[in-house]
Amino acid sequence: MKLTNRIQRNAKPPNPSTRNRPRVAMETPTAPEALPDVPQKVIQIHSSNRQRAVANLSLSTRARNILNTLGIKTLGELDGATHRQILEAKNCGYKSYEEIVRVAEAFEQAATGDRNGGHTVAPSHRTIVIPEKARAWSIDLLPLSVRLHHALQRLNCTVLGDLHGLSYGILTEMPDCGARTQTELRDFVARVQRGDFGRSRETTNETTTAFIVGKIDEFVASLPLQHRAIFMERIGASGDPVTLMSVGRKYKMTRERVRQIISMLTEKALRHGGPPLAQAIGDFKNELSHNVWPLTPALLGKMIGPSTRRPQHVLTFYIRLLGWMEPSLSVWPIGQTPAAYRTPEQERVIARIKEWFRGKSAPVGFVEAWRAINSGGFQCTAREFLEAVRFGAEIALNLEDPQNPLIHPPIETPRRWARQVLSTPNPATLSVDTLSRAKALLLSRRSSGSRYRLASVQAF
């Protein structure tokens, strides 16, 4: 039965009791002449899809009920209907009309589609072609929506190469995967084919660090205004970071909600640059680990080097964000921060450093000290070493040259360390932060006792 006859058969008959009732303007039904300007386009379903059941399509409850009211059980029964007829169906508003048309177009026989042996191929039946260089890319590192990412996971796709050779219409039969998700997949594959995600730092003539900082700036600029403000305030784009509670009070949301937003945006920041950004961060991490360098503002500024794109925020903002994006990095946004309480692993490393330094008086480089303590059955990673000396109050450091940090022989108490720092013959070689902490330790009454009584200095 034709769709036109079904619409007429299912049309609601007029109620005689309300025929002469005066009408209110807001209740006036939409006349056919007042409908939106809908083209008289005819829906043409590809022959291979005409037996597909409507119940298996990703449609809202309202759109599914409209098709059920019209008696449409398969896509073949939509073939030949016009867009105008769909919109004139009972209880079919403009949004439901758009949804039905979008799903139908996924199986439509497009006049301008690709041709295979003289036969038109529907867009949903085009084969996904992934360039060979991109087939090893993990989908976890790509800027995909949560819905599309979950859909690919249900297809057991871990890398882009798993999509190669499949049909675009494979998402149509999946639940919670509508026309918008299918369009996103087509647009994303087109970007991959154009090489949008293959433009690594080599093509920009930038250092690895400058490339990472530039991508972070691009991501922050792309955020909505409120999310951008929350993100920048929490991490400290202009200076010190703001607590979750303070951010929540300002934007009238709970502390947990702020934490969720920050976590979500941190993950998006890593995906924003795609595999080139993930590779750059990996190379950056390997360089720091190989040289046993803590990531300080001085080191970051030196590694950025001359670049056409200067950082848009304070350097501590990038350091904190990189520490969240790559937890294996040892980030020191405000330098060494002696802590009152340390983990057992940090205590173990500090005890080993004291043992190795016994009888020595000259400072040594971080690399030499780390390699020296990794002997005689003792093992620790570069990050474990850096985190231990960062929180060790009895360990004095010289970070004036960020690419050649020095560690001095450990002292017994923070008070002795403060005296040693303030008695340096040339105080100009010490950082302002080191001098201020030394003065604070001598002036604080709490520093007179054990080092475990020191107030904890929070780094974040």
User: What residue spans define the domains of the chain?
Assistant: 3-120, 127-194, 202-325, 344-453
pLDDT of residue 251: 93
DSSP 3-state assignment of 116? strand
Does the domain made of 202-325 have the CATH classification 1.10.10.10? yes
Confidence of residue 32 (pLDDT cuts 50, 70, 90): very low
- DSSP letter (8 states) at residue 59: -
Confidence of residue 110 (pLDDT cuts 50, 70, 90): very low
**196-224 average pLDDT score:** 78
Alpha helices, H only, 273-343: 274-291, 297-304, 315-325
> Which of 60-74, 84-98, 104-118, 306-320 is least confident?
104-118
Beta bridge partners of 138: 159
* Residues with Cβ within 8 Å of residue 51, at least 6 apart in sequence: 74, 75, 76
Residue with more model confidence, 35 or 285: 285
Angle, helices 366-373/382-391, rounded to nearest 10 degrees: 110
Residue with more model confidence, 22 or 380: 380
**DSSP H or E stretch at residue 422:** helix 414-422
**Of 93, 31, 37, 38, which is closest to residue 65 (Cα–Cα)?**
93
pTM of the model: 0.59
pLDDT of residue 244: 92
Q: Candidates 1.10.150.20, 1.20.1260.10, 1.20.1560.10, 3.40.50.300; correct CATH number of 127-194?
A: 1.10.150.20
